[in-house]
Amino acid sequence: MKKKISVSLAIAIAIIAMTVTFSVTMILAMQMFDKTVSDVNEKQVMYNKLAELDKITRDNYNGTINDQTLYDMLSTGYIAGLGDKFSKYYTAKQVNEINDTASGKLMGIGADMVKDASGYFRIVKVYAGSPAENVGLTKDTIVTKLDDTDLKAMPLDTVKSMLKGESGTVIHITYLVNNEEQTVDLQRSVYETPSVEFELNNSVGYIKIATFNTDTAAKLDYAINSLKSQGAVALVFDVRNNTGGTLSAAAECIDLLCPAGTIVSGVYKDNETKVLYTSDEKEVDLPMVVLTNGNTAFGAELFATSIRDFGKGKIVGTKTAGRGTVQKMYTMSDGSAVDLTVAVMVPGKSDSFDGVGVTPDYEKALTPEEEQAFYDFTLTTDPQIVRASEVAESLAKGNSGNGPTQPVPTESAAPAASSSSQPAEESAPPAADSSSSAPASSAPQSSSAAQD
């Protein structure tokens, strides 16, 4: 027999339910309101302070104020106040330069330079089709002046900035020929900086990936197919001094090489985890070695650890930089942008390398003397490339990868000297074309290198 609920009881239950719902809603609303008021109050304090500072300065400063420069510096200071070395503010001009770099194009003269023992700058690479090549500048040329500025006491960043400029502008270069000064005027222009170069080194395909940009995956695919057609039995990927480029481009390259699985996830604000990139079942069926150093960073670190995690190969070289964050650029209405750290990378099959780096399976550091000879190395004389090739050949024979003459590897971190080489490129560093003897990238760019 079913019991009937009285009308009065039903009304009472409904009233209680509505009361509870109303109370919970009010509590949540009050919490949101309190937070909003707090945020508004904090912002008002910030705006008031800025307005007061601006008024005092404009009323009393004895000089000319450039408003655009002032706005840019205020924005720079705001982001710097986060205390995060990877979050940055970029002016509209810098944003355009970054976009050119990401697309494989740079604006300048098209030459890489390093600080020479004389104190001046030595050209270590000239890009094909660049203004530098067009006027006959060659590798090992010593540059002493840019415009009328002597370079002997100049730091890298200053020289790098001087080399860059708007298309069509002219820079006056003084250089040495047989210890005598010569001069030439170069007109800055856009030149191509391909991100991949490759060469067959005996039976091992050597591939230098200088950065990960929009066309890297396509060029990497072409390089691999070309090397396989030439008889390569294993591959060495050189990502020394590759500072990462874009994460999406790095993931695309990993997808090209590795089987199905998660490539990388991101741990965002409030510990929310999102899968960012996955790979399909297609893969490259050759043994692989990734060559790293202390300046291998961001997407390049993910590339190296993914090759190992997916069981595709080994890592040779020295411990990587340990920069495993996800950056996102937000463009503002005036064309400027902020590049913020929004998450921490977590590889699909291993722990985050942020702050700790990726330790190689086979450590091979360069001595200080070898560091100095970086730009004179070839594929057969670069000690790290030689070691990576030995491991690759061993893997191709079905061995563990120890190589013919090397002892069992250690897992220790690389010494500080191993990371003294650093690319002088923009945030997405360019590479070079292949060479018949030794690719330009066989000697990775050092921390005293300037490119443009």
Judged against a pLDDT cut of 70, whether residue 29 lies above it is answered with no
Could you tell me the CA-to-CA distances from 197 to 225, 247, 302, 438 in Å, in that order?
Answer: 13, 20, 20, 11
Task: Specify the pLDDT at position 421.
Answer: 38
What's the pLDDT score for residue 192?
A: 83
- More confidently predicted of 111 and 42: 111
Q: 257-291 pLDDT, tens per residue?
A: 999 999 999 999 989 999 999 999 999 999 999 99
State the number of CA atoms in the 13 A half-sphere of 318 facing the CB.
21
- CATH fold for domain 193-447: 2-enoyl-CoA Hydratase; Chain A, domain 1 (3.90.226)
Q: Which of 68-77, 115-124, 149-158, 198-207 has the highest mean pLDDT?
A: 198-207
What are the tens digits of pLDDT across the range 201-242?
Answer: 999 999 999 999 999 999 999 999 999 999 999 999 999 999
Compute the distance between CA of residue 223 and CA of residue 238 in angstroms, rounded to an integer.
13
User: What was the pLDDT predicted at 157?
Assistant: 76
- pLDDT value of position 256: 98
Contacts of residues 217-220 at CB distance under 8 Å and 24 or more positions apart, as own/partner, are 217/249, 217/252, 217/253, 217/255, 217/256, 219/194, 219/195, 220/196, 220/253, 220/256
Domain made up of 105-191: CATH architecture: Roll (2.30)
Confidence of residue 160 (pLDDT cuts 50, 70, 90): confident
Which is it for the CA torsion 57, 63, 68, 69, positive or negative? Answer: negative
Separation CA 15–CA 20 (nearest Å):
9
Most confident of 33-42, 100-109, 264-273: 264-273
Tokens, residue 389: 């090739």
CA dihedral sign, ordered 163, 166, 167, 169: negative
Containing 282, the helix (H) or strand (E) segment is none
pLDDT band at 115 (very low <50, low <70, confident <90, very high): confident
pLDDT at residue 93 above 90?
Answer: no
